[in-house]
Amino acid sequence: MSSESFLYIWYDAPNKKYYLGKHKGSPDDSYTHSSTVWESFTKSTIPDGVRRRILAYGTDEEMTKLEHNLLLNRRQKCWDRYYNVSAGWPLLFDISGTNNPMYGRKHSEETRKKLSEVNKGKKHSEESKKKMSEVQKGKKVSEETRKRMSEANKGRKHSEESKKKMRAYWQTQTEKYKSKRMQIVANARWKKHREMKEQANV
């Protein structure tokens, strides 16, 4: 059996909460979890009372499906005991419409605040980037979504701070262009001068 990925579950005893996920790699590598609301930690800084159990091994596709199915089950029975905020990645990576784990649901104000705090300055892991890339491949924006995006952007105004940043950015780009242009002209003049000098010495 291939074991390119594995399914795991963390138990946070002090808070009596779980986090279930899958990882493409080995249980012995440096990966711990990818929760957006639970505190981050490394293998050497695992909090007291927190432990992990490996549930299954298999191909990445198999573990993705199993993760999704198990999280759907947890969401129906004991979702409040999990740090997960969605039911993983649905089959065939289709998260549009009713396949979306958050379809018809909204994050609570508390969850939104936690997500905002956790994501400040946070960079996506290579695995997360691959997942997002898979989701976007061949994905088309529906006409309804386009209309909503159009409506949302109508009359939108930039704040003064945003305007200053944009002006500063374009000023920097203009100065870089001028500097580069001047360097090109100077090099051309020097080259011409050198050629004329070489011809005079013939």
More confident residue, 171 or 109: 171
Name 175's Cβ contacts closer than 8 Å, sequence gap at least 6: none
Closest CA to 9 of 56, 78, 55: 55
What local confidence, expressed as pLDDT, does residue 169 receive? 82
What local confidence, expressed as pLDDT, does residue 187 receive? 80
Contact call for residues 50 and 13 (beta carbons, < 8 A): yes
pLDDT-derived band at 199 (thresholds 50, 70, 90) equals confident
Q: How many CB atoms sit inside 10 A of residue 73's CB?
A: 12
Whether pLDDT at 6 is above 70: yes
Q: pLDDT tens digit string along 133-182?
A: 655 555 555 677 677 777 766 666 667 877 788 888 888 878 877 787 78
| C-alpha distances in Å from residue 102, one per residue of 7, 16, 90, 147 | 22, 24, 11, 21
Helices (DSSP H) in 42-125: which residue ranges?
A: 60-77, 109-119
How far apart (Å, rounded) are the C-alpha atoms in residues 83 and 79? 8
Q: pLDDT tens digit string along 55-106?
A: 999 999 899 999 999 999 999 999 999 999 888 765 444 454 554 555 556 6
Closest CA to 63 of 131, 137, 133, 115: 131
Residue 135 identity? V
pLDDT-derived band at 1 (thresholds 50, 70, 90) equals very low
What local confidence, expressed as pLDDT, does residue 92 receive? 43
Contact call for residues 8 and 27 (beta carbons, < 8 A): yes
pLDDT-derived band at 33 (thresholds 50, 70, 90) equals very high
Name 12's Cβ contacts closer than 8 Å, sequence gap at least 6: 18, 19, 38, 47, 49, 50, 83
What local confidence, expressed as pLDDT, does residue 106 receive? 63
More confident residue, 100 or 184: 184
What local confidence, expressed as pLDDT, does residue 57 receive? 95
Assigned token pair, 77: 């029975």
How far apart (Å, rounded) are the C-alpha atoms in residues 180 and 175? 8
Closest CA to 106 of 117, 115, 119, 118: 115
